[in-house]
Amino acid sequence: MSFALHGVGVSGGIAIGRAHLASHAALEVAHHVVPENQVSNEILRLDTAITAVREELETLHSCVVSGPAAAEYGAFLDLHQMILDDPTLSAAAKTYIAQNQCNAEWAITQQMDVLMAQFEEIEDSYLRERKTDVIQVVERVLKVLLGHPGYIPAPPKRDGDSILVAHDLSPADVIQYKQQSFNAFLTDLGGLTSHTAIVARSLNIPSIVALHHARRLIRDNDILIIDGSQGVAIVDPDEHVLSEYRLRHSQLELEKQKLKRIKTTVAATLDGTTVELHANIELPPDVEQVKENGATGIGLFRSEFLFLNRDSLPDEDEQFEAYRNVARKMRGLPVTIRTFDLGADKNLDPTKRVASNPALGLRAIRLCLAEPQMFHTQLRAILRASHYGQIRILVPMLSSVSEITQTMHFIENAKQSLRGEKIPFDEKIQIGGMIEIPAAALCLDVFMRKLDFLSIGTNDLIQYTLAIDRADDSVAYLYDSLHPAVLRLVAHIIRSANRTGTPVAVCGEIAGDVIFTRLLLGFGLRLFSMHPAQLLTVKREVLRSNMPNIIPLVQKILKADDPEKIHVLLAKLNS
């Protein structure tokens, strides 16, 4: 039966393919068909692993000593024992192997999904959240099956027409999927500017988040049509709908090809106002896409992605190689490296307990300053790489002058250590700050005095101005980039920076959203940084724009406080 699901489109385009249901990404395991004569062997492997986990849990139980915390821990182990022995999990997984002739790892994760779906139906939110315990139990079984206690299996290789359907994906998960050839992503959770959405966008494939029930309603191998611009997923479409979308898909491909013609055209408006279009990257290989789309620099290298999906931190040499590699490939064009913005939804250890308000916690520069050795190592690596290109340092999430002072102190220390070792670096390296907290936007003068350049992180600026968690799909409808408060704040930052001659960029997602191009031009923005895939569309919009027409309408938008009026004026601006 054909049906459609609606969510938030985070990356445009049309994809047609077959569903690949992802388990909790850490539990992604390969699916093998096993010969009939090996089915009993797979059942035995599963049985042995379950017995081993049962013994493990019993041993843990016997170690529990008295006291209230012990009672809680004991109850938790009992629950895990119950889940392990639940026939829906263990017995059904064995039946699944027999019926589907598959490997034990695949069978147990499939049954885990059945159990998870049952938990989803429970009204009591406490019980519903016990899904996490199901995942943990299955993780234990998988570790025994795979024979590597600390090993997280990599996602399996897919065909080019697979569409990944997941309940939720962390940014680290999505980065792992970068090497896979999926042609679209669907998730139940997530917001428009969550890091998961941002990374999915960087893959340049249609993606939809906040679908709520996709993981439950879609079955493995279902045929899907994904319309990333509209945020619609059509499940099991009929032939008529399929051929209509095939046609739209080829039209979009044609348009993409046409856009390539303006790759080397200078980005200037009709009246001759020139604009720099830089790119945002997560990992060094992304530079290929940067060059393919003719970016004139890298405005944001989210360096923290070098630290994810691994057991140990990258050392100074490894980081140095990564930064130098990017600098060299950019051949003298600016490369803005943001110091690691870890914390919140980008955790080094995803199993670690996070703060109750992670977006307001130990994140970005706060974490850099709290981890002096890690920060020092990164600063030395960036400085060393600065000898090989035009590297700039960008500091995330600044909120106070004291953070700038401390950061400068760290940078000076790193410089001093390199001087001592006679290692060359750019003595005049530029240091900029991200303006993504309203406090910084409202006290901009001091930030402009102390920093060489500014970059507006609108993804966070919107989250902190409107008090909306950008990763939470339940409040995604309130995440309004066109809220008058947001527009006024962004315009204020750009105008103040222009007045004092401080270079300013926008590197949040609105810089790559063509709806905002004229608005930002009207605010006075001349440096945009976005995902490479969005660059040529934004350039085309710049080429079609005329500042004398833009400015009066933008003034009106800034004065308006009625959202409906803002939308009407914006439509006029973009017509």
Residue ranges that bind ligand PEP, judged by CB under 6 A: 198, 300, 302, 341, 436, 457-460, 507-508
Name which of ligand PEP, Mg ion, none residue 190 binds, using a CB cut-off of 5 to 8 Å depending on partner kind.
none
Which residues have a Cβ under 8 Å from the Cβ of 128 and sit 6 or more positions away?
119, 120, 122
In angstroms, give the least distance from the CB of 134 to Mg ion. Answer: 33
Q: For ligand PEP, which is the closer residue by CB, 302 or 518? A: 302
Neighbour tally for 72: CB within 10 Å: 11
In angstroms, give the least distance from the CB of 282 to Mg ion. Answer: 13
SS3 track for 476-531: HHHCCCCCHHHHHHHHHHHHHHHHHCCCEEECCHHHHCHHHHHHHHHHCCCEEEEC
Q: Which of 182, 223, 230, 224 is nearest to 208 (CA)?
A: 230
Q: For ligand PEP, which is the closer residue by CB, 287 or 462? A: 462
Q: For Mg ion, which is the closer residue by CB, 388 or 453? A: 453
In angstroms, give the least distance from the CB of 505 to ligand PEP. Answer: 10
Q: What tokens were used for 295?
A: 């970016």
Beta bridge partners of 96: none
In angstroms, give the least distance from the CB of 350 to ligand PEP. Answer: 17
Question: What angle, rounded to 10 degrees, do the helices at 104-120 and 90-100 form?
Answer: 130
Q: For Mg ion, which is the closer residue by CB, 93 or 394? A: 394
Alpha carbon distance 519, 550 (integer Å): 8
Question: What angle, rounded to 10 degrees, do the helices at 39-63 and 90-100 form?
Answer: 160
Which residues have a Cβ under 8 Å from the Cβ of 337 and sit 6 or more positions away?
301, 303, 323, 326, 382, 385, 391, 392, 393, 394
In angstroms, give the least distance from the CB of 504 to ligand PEP. Answer: 13
Alpha helices per DSSP H over 121-162: 125-128, 131-146
Active site (annotated) includes residue 24: no
Q: For Mg ion, which is the closer residue by CB, 104 or 507? A: 507
Is beta strand 8-11 parallel, antiparallel or unpaired with respect to 223-227? Answer: unpaired
Alpha carbon distance 509, 515 (integer Å): 11
Q: For ligand PEP, which is the closer residue by CB, 83 or 506? A: 506
Q: For ligand PEP, which is the closer residue by CB, 390 or 455? A: 455
In angstroms, give the least distance from the CB of 413 to Mg ion. Answer: 25
Q: What tokens were used for 469?
A: 């968690």
Residue type, 83: I
Alpha carbon distance 381, 457 (integer Å): 24
- For residue 59, count CB atoms less than 10 angstroms from its CB and return exposed for 0-12, middle for 13-18, buried for 19 or more: exposed
Name which of Mg ion, ligand PEP, none residue 458 binds, using a CB cut-off of 5 to 8 Å depending on partner kind.
ligand PEP
Alpha carbon distance 430, 453 (integer Å): 8
Alpha carbon distance 489, 451 (integer Å): 19
Alpha carbon 280 to chain centroid, angstroms: 12
In angstroms, give the least distance from the CB of 460 to Mg ion. Answer: 4
In angstroms, give the least distance from the CB of 192 to ligand PEP. Answer: 11
Q: Which of 25, 535, 536, 12 is nearest to 281 (CA)?
A: 535
Active site (annotated) includes residue 195: yes
297, 391 Cβ separation under 8 angstroms:
no
Name which of ligand PEP, Mg ion, none residue 496 binds, using a CB cut-off of 5 to 8 Å depending on partner kind.
none
Residues that bind Mg ion (CB under 5 A): 436, 457, 460
- 20, 24, 80, 195: the catalytic one is 195
Alpha carbon distance 504, 525 (integer Å): 7
In angstroms, give the least distance from the CB of 479 to Mg ion. Answer: 14
Q: For Mg ion, which is the closer residue by CB, 142 or 359? A: 359
Q: What is the DSSP string of 376-404?
A: HHHHHHHHHHGGGSEEEEEE-S--SHHHH
Name which of Mg ion, ligand PEP, none residue 225 binds, using a CB cut-off of 5 to 8 Å depending on partner kind.
none
358, 321 Cβ separation under 8 angstroms:
no
Alpha carbon 456 to chain centroid, angstroms: 18
Q: For ligand PEP, which is the closer residue by CB, 113 or 282? A: 282
Beta bridge partners of 6: 232
| Catalytic (active-site) positions | 195, 507
